[in-house]
DNA sequence: ATAGATGGCATTTTT
DNA sequence: TGCCATCTAT
């Protein structure tokens, strides 16, 4: 089939090379803003144009949204450039129907392949049937077709909340850490266990590396891990990590499954390869055709690799090491896949040179020496700004008014505020609400986490998997008088098939019996997700009205929206797993509004204007990164990712003080090393005054004159701005010790951090030197303290 | 055994 | 801030 696309003229030479190399192993090193998405989009079209069936293309990206966008854009390209011959395909045939041979039906006895894709489908023109999504979603889509050995028959994907609930259950059962205040919280346990798996290390290794204070609990955590694994196995539950490891095991143990994947997905594209972890890399290798021995590195592939595998990524943007991502995957790809064609996309089409200069400067200081230099032909553009509000509260007010100012010339949806951690934006959110500025926050509360949605989902999940204990608990405890014990008892009776026993136990709770019957009936009916959703809503509505008398209509509406969503699915389990893997309502949020996002969630996105908050030590770089140099390097790459999101306007905010909830007062903050090390010529410096507007600091002119500290009465108007630096005397250390742009500032790099002893608090980690004679020290069990040097002994 | 209330807490980043 | 864990009255 032919299109009028002129690949050579619409792409630059490197992009062209990447988009038109369809066979063999290919590594694309794509610098920030280098047109990576465009290249993948063109390659998708090119593949289809060359006669590759869309259904044999697998596109794995970091989020489903990313895959969706690429497929949509490819489809748009095809539509727009006319594939007249294809217009008769407007009515897309179901994914597995007709043209493609689907082997799963033959192999997986009892499991019929479902006629609707789980992940994203390119639902028009020649792209119908491209399978795209995340590794996790892909893993599930195959796992459900083949029965993994030793697993319950119906597999359910757990979401974050399920995981915590399951851990809690295991904890009660084993009495692990009972009554021990130093025992970590479920969240923490989950983090440790998950790290253990993603980094493929023992609990002890993980603890030794990043939380040595928990080392005394090593055995208990390991034991809890085993109990948790057994809990999941017997109940047919899969957490995020299980999806990957069970999938790998399936590919290694079940020849049919491996053959199915290899045969079906002959053209594989992996985006963000720098952020894959070892098991993901092995899965990719197995499906692409690498031998099991070569995948684990036991043996080296010596002949030219003949599978069609393209990986795309940027080692400088690797920001997920904390969850096991390993840059080595991308660095050694050519070695692992002999015959790899390496293509570098280097010209930046996103940002003006001023933005790139700052970005480059940040990367230059990286100790791991990623040699990258972004360039553009877009021109110098605006000079990035450094803004220094008096406090984090003032920062919120300044940013809010700046957003209003910017939105006079830029659509609000083209303005983004980025920060290191979700809670860093709280103050700004309050401020924006106060001013009536619309915003959408990425990484905020998922709609699926609302109580009524979870209630509804528990019924749906029980229809799919009667052993889903988390769902059972949720459903059963909706009834007054049913708690942990009763719940467990009934669950066991139900599983044992003891009908008489169940009826007896449930007799005291008539509503519960009705629920169980309802679930049984619908399991028998095998209804479509949409019909089931409607039925559940009707069944649950009385309870909804009882539980939420003030706002049940609104919640009901939300549930109906959910049922609408379900109508896109033919298979119940796919609907459930999609909800656990990614919030489907996220992308349907209104388009208007300023974007608030963690830097991690901002990956791959771009905006006209980008504001980075809280560029002070402890926040960014995060205090948790101060232990090991490699973590600090990851913070640097995070900063690089943040800066390279900006097209034209880049502003970095450095509050002089941070509110301290402990003391209720403000503590001085040290500007982030990432800004301190920038040459002053790369940015202009702006400050707050009491009279209005941001005022640019005149570089190197006015001598520093400390202004008296003028406390604002509570509830006073937002700070306005004034031309000189209003720094309170007690904060003058910033002027003296941490001037910006020195290029050689006293950075609290991790390698300079040591430990010290204090008579009362014991051993602590020195977080920061506060000249001339104080240290900020983190004492396990006591938290952060500022201590006079005289009272501690350095180690 | 359950439910509700209270008080103490620490708080990265995501599938 | 919201989320725990523990306590107390039924």
d(CA A212, CA A193): 15
d(CA A28, CA A340): 10
Cα dihedral A236, A241, A246, A251 in deg (nearest 10): 150
pLDDT tens-digit map of A694-735: 778 765 433 333 333 333 333 334 333 333 333 333 333 333
Q: Residue A771: its pLDDT value, please?
A: 61
Dump the DSSP string for A704-733. P-PPPP-PPPTTPPPP---SS----GGGTH
d(CA A311, CA A28): 6
Q: Residue A690: its pLDDT value, please?
A: 64
Q: Is the CB of A434 under 7 A from strand C?
A: no
| Cβ-based neighbours of A635, under 8 Å, separated by 6 or more | A620, A621, A622, A625, A674
d(CA A119, CA A581): 10
User: How much is the average pLDDT of A112-141?
Assistant: 67
Q: Is the CB of A305 under 7 A from strand B?
A: no
Residue A242 in this model has a pLDDT that exceeds 70: yes
Which of A347 and A124 is assigned the larger pLDDT?
A347
**Contact in structure between A610 and A650 (CB atoms under 8 Å):** yes
Q: Å between A624 CA and B1 C1'?
A: 42
Q: Residue A759: its pLDDT value, please?
A: 61
Report the half-sphere exposure of A22 (CA within 13 A, side-chain side): 16
Q: Residue A262: its pLDDT value, please?
A: 96
d(CA A19, CA A417): 33
**Contact in structure between A572 and A464 (CB atoms under 8 Å):** yes
- Choose the weakest-confidence range: A21-35, A247-261, A386-400, A711-725: A711-725
Q: Residue A517: its pLDDT value, please?
A: 93
- Closest listed residue to residue A65, CA positions, set A414, A447, A441, A582: A582
Q: Å between A506 CA and C10 C1'?
A: 21
Whole-number CA gyration radius for chain A? 28
Residue A417 in this model has a pLDDT that exceeds 80: yes
Q: Is the CB of A185 under 7 A from strand C?
A: yes
Nucleotide nearest to A423 (CA to C1'): B11
d(CA A745, CA A617): 13
- Closest listed residue to residue A156, CA positions, set A538, A576, A508: A576
Q: How confident is the model at residue A563 (pLDDT cuts 50, 70, 90)?
A: confident
Q: Å between A113 CA and C1 C1'?
A: 46
d(CA A96, CA A375): 45
Residue A439: phi, psi to the nearest 5? -150, 160
Instruction: Name the residue closest to the C1' of B11 by its CA.
Output: A423
Task: Provide the strand spans (E) within A465-555.
Answer: none
Dump the DSSP string for A65-84. HHHHHHHHHHHHHHHHT--G
Q: Give the SS3 label for residue A341.
A: strand
Q: Residue A758: its pLDDT value, please?
A: 67
Residue A497 in this model has a pLDDT that exceeds 60: yes
CA–CA distances in Å: residue A127 to residues A16, A50, A57, A457, A611? 20, 12, 9, 32, 37
Q: Residue A214: its pLDDT value, please?
A: 86
pLDDT tens-digit map of A50-60: 999 999 999 99
Residue A112 in this model has a pLDDT that exceeds 50: no
Q: Residue A729: its pLDDT value, please?
A: 32
Q: Residue A699: its pLDDT value, please?
A: 58
CB-contacted nucleotides of strand C (7 Å): 1, 4-6
- N- to C-terminal Cα separation, chain A: 72
Q: How confident is the model at residue A179 (pLDDT cuts 50, 70, 90)?
A: confident
Share of chain A above pLDDT 90, in %: 45
What does pLDDT average to over chain A? 81
d(CA A563, CA A453): 11
d(CA A696, CA A590): 35
Q: How confident is the model at residue A739 (pLDDT cuts 50, 70, 90)?
A: low
Q: Please, what's the b/e burial string for A675-696 (b: 16 or more CB within 10 A of its CB; e: otherwise)?
A: bbbbeeebbbbbbbbeeeebbe
Q: Residue A209: its pLDDT value, please?
A: 84
Q: Residue A784: its pLDDT value, please?
A: 60
Q: Is the CB of A667 under 7 A from strand B?
A: no
d(CA A683, CA A681): 6
Sheet holding A439-441, edge to edge: A439-441, A594-598, A415-419, A607-612, A646-653, A385-388, A684-687, A695-696
Residue with tokens 């289809």: A48
CB-contacted nucleotides of strand B (7 Å): 1-3, 10-15
What tokens does A513 get?
């019996």
Furthest C-alpha separation in chain A: 89
Q: Residue A668: its pLDDT value, please?
A: 86
Q: Residue A185: its pLDDT value, please?
A: 87
Residue A416 in this model has a pLDDT that exceeds 70: yes
Q: Å between A195 CA and B13 C1'?
A: 13
Nucleotide nearest to A186 (CA to C1'): C4
Residue A682: phi, psi to the nearest 5? -85, -15
Dump the DSSP string for A370-395. -----B-SS---PPPEEEE-SSHHHH
Share of chain A above pLDDT 70, in %: 80
**Contact in structure between A59 and A130 (CB atoms under 8 Å):** yes
Residue A706 backbone zone (phi > 0: left; psi -120 to 50: alpha; other: beta): beta
Residue A232 in this model has a pLDDT that exceeds 60: yes
Q: How confident is the model at residue A343 (pLDDT cuts 50, 70, 90)?
A: very high
Q: Is the CB of A661 under 7 A from strand C?
A: yes
Instruction: Name the residue closest to the C1' of C4 by its CA.
Output: A185
**Contact in structure between A343 and A27 (CB atoms under 8 Å):** yes
pLDDT tens-digit map of A71-81: 888 988 888 77
Nucleotide nearest to A320 (CA to C1'): B13
Nucleotide nearest to A159 (CA to C1'): B15
Q: Residue A53: its pLDDT value, please?
A: 93
Nucleotide nearest to A181 (CA to C1'): C5
Q: Is the CB of A164 under 7 A from strand C?
A: yes
Query: CB neighbours (10 Å) of residue A342?
Result: 11
Q: How confident is the model at residue A691 (pLDDT cuts 50, 70, 90)?
A: low
Q: Å between A600 CA and B14 C1'?
A: 8
What tokens does A775 get?
């240290």
Q: How confident is the model at residue A559 (pLDDT cuts 50, 70, 90)?
A: confident
Instruction: Name the residue closest to the C1' of B12 by its CA.
Output: A421
Residue A530 in this model has a pLDDT that exceeds 70: yes
d(CA A423, CA A399): 16
Which of A743 and A771 is assigned the larger pLDDT?
A771
């Amino acid at each position: 089939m032919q299109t009028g696309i002129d690949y050579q003229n619409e792409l630059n030479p490197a992009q062209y090379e990447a988009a038109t190399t369809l066979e063999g192993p290919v590594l694309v090193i794509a610098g920030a803003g280098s047109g990576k998405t465009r290249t993948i989009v063109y390659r998708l079209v090119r593949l289809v144009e060359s006669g590759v069936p869309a259904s044999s293309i697998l596109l794995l990206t970091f989020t489903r949204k990313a895959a969706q966008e690429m497929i949509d854009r490819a489809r748009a390209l095809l539509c727009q450039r006319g594939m007249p011959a294809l217009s008769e395909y407007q009515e897309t045939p179901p994914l597995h129907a007709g043209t493609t041979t689907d082997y799963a039906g033959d192999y997986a006895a009892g499991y019929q392949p479902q006629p609707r894709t789980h992940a994203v489908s390119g639902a028009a023109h020649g792209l119908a049937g491209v399978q795209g999504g995340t590794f996790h979603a892909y893993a599930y889509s195959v796992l459900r077709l083949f029965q993994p050995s030793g697993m319950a028959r119906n597999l359910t994907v757990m979401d974050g909340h399920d995981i915590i609930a399951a851990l809690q259950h295991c904890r009660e059962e084993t009495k692990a850490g009972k009554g021990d205040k130093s025992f970590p919280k479920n969240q923490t346990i989950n983090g440790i266990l998950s790290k253990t798996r993603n980094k493929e290390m023992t609990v002890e290794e993980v603890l030794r590396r990043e939380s040595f204070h928990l080392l005394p609990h090593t055995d208990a955590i390991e034991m809890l891990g085993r109990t948790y694994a057994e809990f999941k196995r017997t109940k047919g539950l899969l957490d995020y990590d299980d999806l990957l490891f069970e999938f790998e095991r399936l590919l290694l143990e079940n020849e049919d499954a491996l053959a199915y994947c290899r045969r079906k997905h002959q053209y594989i594209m992996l985006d963000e390869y720098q952020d894959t972890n070892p098991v993901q890399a092995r899965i990719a290798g197995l499906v692409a055709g690498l031998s099991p021995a070569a995948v684990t590195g036991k043996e080296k592939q010596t002949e030219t690799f003949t599978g069609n595998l393209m990986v795309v990524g940027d080692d400088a943007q690797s920001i997920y090491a904390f969850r096991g991502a390993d840059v080595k995957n991308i660095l050694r790809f050519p070695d692992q896949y002999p015959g790899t064609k390496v293509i570098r996309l280097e010209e930046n089409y996103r940002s003006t040179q001023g933005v790139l200069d700052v970005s480059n400067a940040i990367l230059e200081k990286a100790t791991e020496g990623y040699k990258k230099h972004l360039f553009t032909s877009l021109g110098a553009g605006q000079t990035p700004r450094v803004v220094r509000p008096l406090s984090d509260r003032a920062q919120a007010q300044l940013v809010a008014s700046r957003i209003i100012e910017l939105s006079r010339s830029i659509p609000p949806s083209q303005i983004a505020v980025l920060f290191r951690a979700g809670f860093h934006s709280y103050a700004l959110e309050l401020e924006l609400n106060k001013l009536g500025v619309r915003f959408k926050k990425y990484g905020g509360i998922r709609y699926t986490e609302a109580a009524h949605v979870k209630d509804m989902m528990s019924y749906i999940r029980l229809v799919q998997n009667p052993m889903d204990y988390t769902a059972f608990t949720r459903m059963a405890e909706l009834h007054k008088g049913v708690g942990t014990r009763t719940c467990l008892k009934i669950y066991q009776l139900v599983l044992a098939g003891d009908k008489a026993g169940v009826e007896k136990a449930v007799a005291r709770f008539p509503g519960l019996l009705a629920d169980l019957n309802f679930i049984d009936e619908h399991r028998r009916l095998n209804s479509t997700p949409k019909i089931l959703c409607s039925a559940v809503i009707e069944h649950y509505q009385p309870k909804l009205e009882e539980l939420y008398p003030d706002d049940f209509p609104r919640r009901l509406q939300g549930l109906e929206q959910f049922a609408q969503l379900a109508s896109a699915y033919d298979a119940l389990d796919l609907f459930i797993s999609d909800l656990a893997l990614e919030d489907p309502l996220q992308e349907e949020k209104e388009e208007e509004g300023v974007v608030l996002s963690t830097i991690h969630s901002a990956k791959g996105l771009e905006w006209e204007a980008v504001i980075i908050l809280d560029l002070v030590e402890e926040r960014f770089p995060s205090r948790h990164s101060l232990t090991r140099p490699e973590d600090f390097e990851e913070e640097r790459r995070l900063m690089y990712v943040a800066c390279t999101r900006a097209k034209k306007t880049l502003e970095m905010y450095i509050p002089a003080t941070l509110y301290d909830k402990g003391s209720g007062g403000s503590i001085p903050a040290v500007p982030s090393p990432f800004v301190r090390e920038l040459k002053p010529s790369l940015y202009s410096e702006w400050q707050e005054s009491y009279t209005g507007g941001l005022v640019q600091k005149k570089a190197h002119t006015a001598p520093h004159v400390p202004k008296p500290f003028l406390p604002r009465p509570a509830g006073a108007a937002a700070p306005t701005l004034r031309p000189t630096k209003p720094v309170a005397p007690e904060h003058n250390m910033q002027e003296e010790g941490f001037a910006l742009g020195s290029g050689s500032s006293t950075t609290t790099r991790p390698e300079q951090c040591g430990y010290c002893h204090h008579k009362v608090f014991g051993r602590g980690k020195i977080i920061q030197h506060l000249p001339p004679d104080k240290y900020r020290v983190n004492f396990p069990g006591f938290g952060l303290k500022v201590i006079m040097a005289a009272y501690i002994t350095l180690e």
